[in-house]
Chains A and B, each alone.
Chain A
């Protein structure tokens, strides 16, 4: 899923401090799972904002709600009747949701309340790790199910580099060397012969480098 972290509170305060009616909108999707922007976090942020405005002697109305997800118009539409009264909205959805909300309510100031980080997995509660870079053409079959684009700091396809040090990446001892992991996996699968065949340059045009992407599923559209 998409992993995000709450923005520093002082950044959010700076964005909304001059408004009088602010709505915090959480998302029950990915940001709830990584505890960055769900209903719970929306409540906490709203309370923090209320405390801030009150001690500053400012009158303000801070409300909170959460939507099933913000990347879907039918859910965003559910708050259309409420939106009018607010000067500003803080969306705790990932970057996709914030943008979609801003598209639908294009005359409203919508601020992001989280920093969207990556697509990843839950290793433990509160410990999330990146796994996928959305390159658009999955090569996991060739690398024993471990992605070198997401897990090698240099996104090498013919790794490991000379800085692979006791199973760790040269840039940070907390990062396992992606290619060491691939090596171990290919060994387990009996596929080490893959190691000696050069992998050709990748076609990056299916990734971000090719420009903003759209998927059109003709089989699903009438």
Chain B
């Protein structure tokens, strides 16, 4: 958490308050109004708004365009950037572009393989991976230098983020190792994959704390409310890297259909309350995909509203 940037998210984290971020998904057509609408829905409830980057390899309005729009609305965007679709020239170019509009938060991701998306026949890029992207933006910010060696004056003042997934393979200790590698590369905050298995997450955080890593990187716990039991089952069986324990599926499925969404929100709120007590958790990243209108309720009931006003 070395370099200080103009990022409001960084400011909130450094203040010691729990930070709150959320994400908005861009539309699949040239419709500028969608992001404006979603941004307005959640703006008072979060410290920064992530815009996903062609998530799950589905072609959407690019994250950069949406982040610029949010910035021009006076909001605090977080540019998600995957390395699947762009080589190092384009990645650095987009970072300069974002910085030129005063965007100060970035999430460095490798990205889902195109197999999952609407263009499975495309060539992929993967010139860099997420760790190398972290290294790159850090170099641009701290040394004013591009990967190719070119040196420049006006540097991107990026607060550098990445994803962390305590639930993927090979094992929890190695996932901490991987996060340690990202820290070595320069990451300052991470948003985790959505958490349902609190035991595993706590195990992850314990190792983080034992290694002192919690002081080097701010962990924002990922929260995704379940809409219904179908979603719970789908995420349990069909989404790699997500761990949904049976009791979560049972709990959501145990109430009548029209009550399941409410139960999902209640569960999310309970998770927030429990995770606030876990050492090293510095905030929450609420991913309510295509359900952004629920973010205000979750933030309120989670005791995170109103957002602290910092000087």
Contact = CB atoms under 8 A, between A and B. Distances in A.
Answer yes or no: A and B touching, Cβ < 8 Å.
yes
A196 B169 contact: no
Interface stretch (B129-137, B153-161, B260-268): B129-137
State which size class the interface on B falls in. 35 or more
Interface stretch (A49-57, A84-92, A148-156, A212-220): A148-156
Given A158-B129, A162-B193, A165-B168, A201 B88 contact: yes
A157 B84 CA distance: 14
Contact of A180 (B127, B165, B169): B169
Interface in A46-97: none
A164 interface: yes
Contacts of B124: 154
Contact of B241 (A154, A159, A170): A170
What is the interface of chain A mostly: helix, strand, loop, or mixed?
Answer: loop
B181 A164 contact: no
Given A154-B113, A154-B124, A201-B88, A159 B168 contact: no
A129 B181 CA distance: 30
B170 interface: yes
Given A162-B165, A164-B241, A165-B241, A154 B110 contact: yes
A104 interface: no
A18 interface: no
Interface in A181-201: 183-184, 192, 195-201
Given A158-B181, A195-B177, A204 B168 contact: no
State which size class the interface on A falls in. 20 to 34
Nearest to A162: B165
A163 interface: yes
A171 interface: yes
B65 interface: no
A205 to B, nearest CB: 11
Interface in A22-59: none
Interface in B128-151: 128-132, 134-136, 147
B116 A198 contact: no
Given A158-B131, A195-B181, A163 B240 contact: yes
B120 to A, nearest CB: 9
Most buried by B among A159, A164, A183: A164
A199 B184 CA distance: 11
Contact of B127 (A177, A184, A204): A204
A199 B169 CA distance: 20
A157 B132 contact: yes
A166 interface: yes
B201 interface: no
Interface of A: 153-167, 170-172, 177, 180, 183-184, 192, 195-201, 204
